[in-house]
Amino acid sequence: MCLAVPGQVIEIGEDNMALVDLAGVRRKVCLDLVDGVRVQDYVLVHVGFALQRIDEEEARRARQQLEAMFALSRGEAEPS
């Protein structure tokens, strides 16, 4: 199973590498697979690569789904 995590592009540097905020964790991500990414765009990230751009609402929904999945895996009630 593959998992892509939504994040927001904070800055774009040399060699098409971006600093992306992934729920408070900042990572360098390669943008080579997605054209036209700009600062403040949201992207889906898998193993250090942006796979596609998404809008802010989709990023929010994806993050909520991930949080719910992790809560259930810990035996907690699903977050509201």
- Residue 80: band (very low, low, confident or very high) from pLDDT cuts 50, 70, 90: low
Bridge partner list, 8: 21, 42
Confidence (pTM): 0.83
Question: What residues does each domain of the chain span?
Answer: 5-73
Domain covering 5-73 assigned CATH 3.40.50.12780 in the classification = no
Phi/psi for 66 (5° steps) reads: -65, -45
* pLDDT tens digits along 10-50: 999 989 999 999 989 999 999 999 999 999 999 999 999 99
User: Could you give the angle at the alpha carbon of 5 between the alpha carbons of 24 and 43, nearest 5°?
Assistant: 90
User: Could you give the angle at the alpha carbon of 50 between the alpha carbons of 47 and 55, nearest 5°?
Assistant: 130
